[in-house]
Amino acid sequence: MTTIENIQACVDLRVPQRLPVFSLSQEFDAAYCGLRYADYIRDAETVVACQLRCIEAFGWDWCWLHLDDTLEFEPLGVGVKGGENVVPATTAYLPFDRQTLASLRVPDPRRSARMPLLLEAIAEVRAARGDQTCVTGRVAAPFSAVTLLFGMAETYLALMDDPQLVRDALQFAEEQALSWGLAQIEAGAHAIWYGDCNASTHLLSPAMFADWALEPCKRVCAAFKKAGAFVFLHNSEDRLDGLRMQALTEPSALSSGPGIDRATVAAEFAGRLCTLGNVDPIALLQNDTPEAVAAETERQVRLMAKGGMILNSGECVPREAKVENLRALHDTARRTWQALQEH
């Protein structure tokens, strides 16, 4: 089976021949290749060279091409502070008013700002790796997109002060998400990492998620799946009531944050929805030992023996993570899965 076929088996709630092993390691990858993050995202050639080197060094089954949180919003006037992967300062957001919203137009992903950089990187990695590696692009889900355009505080205030403005902004964000994601799929992405962290229960109650975030997220998710891509929804969620609500958007697989135990997620969604594993990137991959990483990895992989799950870090792996810990994650997962299949 190819990597893509193994992922499809997980999405179909079957047992894959080879367990897909991912890591949200892009910041770590840049550091591993001796690059400042601002240099890593400078051009597609650098991104591709770094990713291919890390796939070879660590054996990941995907290539996570994220770049930064506001890539698709830069053409609309939102910038990334200092060229790093950080959410911009409040002063960098757009004014959240009717006049500003009416002036916005969905940018052309093939021509606008740095959006073509990601499309080029996707195409080049797909050409180099084919179906050996799940080439994964990224899109902000509509609710989170509104917060990344106008700021979180302004968005949450508008929910009370001008709900129609928020609904109109969500409609624009949905149109942009569709344009941006479909362009990545056309460029060669097998999957879309669909981020909606600003709609997690850290910030919205499940009822508010149902009122504001669910339906736009679900419509975009359906369009990406119809176009032939996997959709990995990530809200960095650590509560079951939040995950249950987010599952209603019907992604290919639902990713949980590191704050909820993998056994809890496995028990909740077994036989219903594929889920992505959530190894803690800071407590384990940055701050603990290879032995501790190996023990947690083995525990999680054993939970995955019945299928329908993919191993991943629960959030972004920091550049300060230890090389030996990332290797322990991969090697232990492979060794444990092989032993499970032999028995």
Distance between CA atoms of 332 and 343, rounded to whole angstroms? 17
Look up tokens 């990137």; give the residue. Answer: 281
Q: So what's the pLDDT on residue 56?
A: 97
Q: pLDDT, tens digit, for every residue of 318-327?
A: 999 999 999 9
Distance between CA atoms of 295 and 306, rounded to whole angstroms? 19
Q: So what's the pLDDT on residue 88?
A: 46
Q: So what's the pLDDT on residue 90?
A: 45
For every residue of 16-58, DSSP letters joined together read PSS--B----HHHHHHHTT--HHHHTS-HHHHHHHHHHHHHHH
Distance between CA atoms of 292 and 309, rounded to whole angstroms? 21
- Which contacts (CB < 8 Å, 24+ apart) does range 73-82 have? 73/140, 73/145, 73/148, 73/149, 74/113, 74/114, 74/115, 75/107, 75/112, 75/113, 75/115, 76/104, 76/107, 76/149, 78/148, 78/149, 82/38
- Contact (Cβ atoms closer than 8 angstroms) between residue 17 and residue 306: no
Number of C-beta neighbours around residue 113 at 10 A: 15
Q: Which 3 state secondary structure label does DSSP give 106?
A: coil
Q: Which 3 state secondary structure label does DSSP give 311?
A: strand
Q: So what's the pLDDT on residue 178?
A: 98
Q: So what's the pLDDT on residue 69?
A: 86
- For the chain, give the number of residues: 343
Q: So what's the pLDDT on residue 113?
A: 93
Q: Please give the DSSP secondary-structure letter assigned to residue 193.
A: E
How high is the mean pLDDT in each 10-residue block of the chain (343 residues)? 97 98 97 95 96 98 93 87 51 90 98 96 98 97 97 95 98 98 98 97 95 98 98 97 98 97 97 96 98 98 97 97 98 98 86
Domains of the chain are 3-338 (3.20.20.210)
> Phi and psi at residue 169, in whole multiples of 5°?
-65, -40
Bridge partner list, 237: 256
Among 200, 204, 194, smallest CA distance to 173 is for: 194
Q: So what's the pLDDT on residue 15?
A: 97
Question: How far is residue 272 from each of residues 186, 192, 202, 230, 266, measured CA to CA in Å?
Answer: 29, 21, 25, 16, 10
- Contact (Cβ atoms closer than 8 angstroms) between residue 138 and residue 24: no
